[in-house]
Amino acid sequence: MTPSMDAVRRLVRQALAEDGGTGDATTSAVVPLAARARGLFLAKQDLVIAGLAVARETFLAADPEILWEELEEDGAQLAAGRMIARVTGSAHSLLRAERVALNFLQRMSGVATLTRRFVDAVAGTRARIRDTRKTTPLLRELEKYAVVVGGGELHRKALDQAILVKDNHVRLAGSVAEAARRAREGSRGLLVEVEVEQVGQIEAALAAGADMLLLDNFTPELARAGVTLVRGRVPVEASGGIRLDNVRAYAEAGVDFIAVGALTHSAPAADISLEIEPT
């Protein structure tokens, strides 16, 4: 998955407009208009880098004459202190783009870094780490790209890409069986995944035609029982209450996928700095 560069440029323009207002009052007061500068992006922690193209487009949107030099590639696992990229050009332009570029780069690298930690935690099992739709509004494409950079896999990008029957659908339909039956009849060829909240709902979901099961808020022990009951008839996904300290237990229960909302809704921003000096 690669983000649409047209979408990236639209986001960058909006972010620069939000951040700049009517102009950078501090830079205008302190830095001569003709000043030239160079900046160096540095990793301040161990991280997986993601979002270099977005950072580059931020600087080019601020000033097409800025020179951007990448020293690493998205997906690289960097130790604290590693140089990531260089920018050279008008000091005013570098300062205009600095914060916005860092915001994108830190956010996306934070998602990629957390994803890699989850992927590493289940290494050697059959389980694959997937994201959810718990993304920052309007940043979904960037955050899902960062998940892939971190080694994770994508769930639905949008509501039209698959059917996922969840607890609210079940309550509105009256039962898991009825919700799954309606989903199967109205699927129009889309994959039908059905969320179950207890082992006793599994057979009803399968009988109604579920292509995949989501075990919601199961303990690892109950997840193992659910996998045993399914007997490989459909893929099984676990979700809910899954953390770095327990994700391997779910993987060892035999599930095929583990959906982790924290990848995008709770990933801390990676610590990256941009150090600018005159040239």
Q: For position 84, which CATH number holds?
A: 3.90.1170.20
Beta strand pairing status for 83-90 and 163-165?
A: unpaired
H or E element in which residue 16 lies: helix 5-20
pLDDT score recorded for residue 151: 98
Q: Are 129 and 239 members of one domain? A: yes
Residue 166 annotated in active site = yes
Closest by CA position to 48, among listed 144, 154, 151 = 151
Q: Are 253 and 125 members of one domain? A: yes
Could you say which of 131, 216, 237, 256 is catalytic? 216
Q: Any idea what the CATH number is for the domain that residue 180 is in?
A: 3.20.20.70
Closest by CA position to 137, among listed 8, 2, 264, 48 = 264
Q: Are 235 and 274 members of one domain? A: no
> How many domains does the structure of the chain reveal?
2
d(CA 272, CA 80): 9
Q: Are 94 and 174 members of one domain? A: no
Q: Are 9 and 108 members of one domain? A: yes
Residue 44 annotated in active site = no
Q: Residue 193: which domain range?
A: 120-265
The residue assigned the tokens 């718990």 is: 134
Q: Are 34 and 147 members of one domain? A: no
Q: Are 15 and 143 members of one domain? A: no
The amino acid at 39: G
Q: Are 249 and 136 members of one domain? A: yes
The amino acid at 114: L
H or E element in which residue 95 lies: helix 91-121
Q: Are 256 and 273 members of one domain? A: no
Residue 144 annotated in active site = no
Could you say which of 98, 143, 193, 195 is catalytic? 195
pTM for this model (two decimals):
0.96
Residue 116 annotated in active site = no
Residue 210 carries which DSSP code? -
Q: Are 95 and 33 members of one domain? A: yes
Q: Are 173 and 258 members of one domain? A: yes
Could you say which of 9, 86, 99, 128 is catalytic? 99
Segment-wise mean pLDDT, segments of 10 residues, the chain, 279 residues = 91 97 96 98 98 98 98 98 98 98 98 98 98 97 98 96 97 97 96 97 97 98 98 98 97 98 98 97
Could you say which of 9, 36, 166, 224 is catalytic? 166
Intra-chain end-to-end CA distance of the chain, in Å: 38
Could you say which of 36, 82, 128, 134 is catalytic? 134
pLDDT score recorded for residue 219: 98
Q: Are 259 and 273 members of one domain? A: no
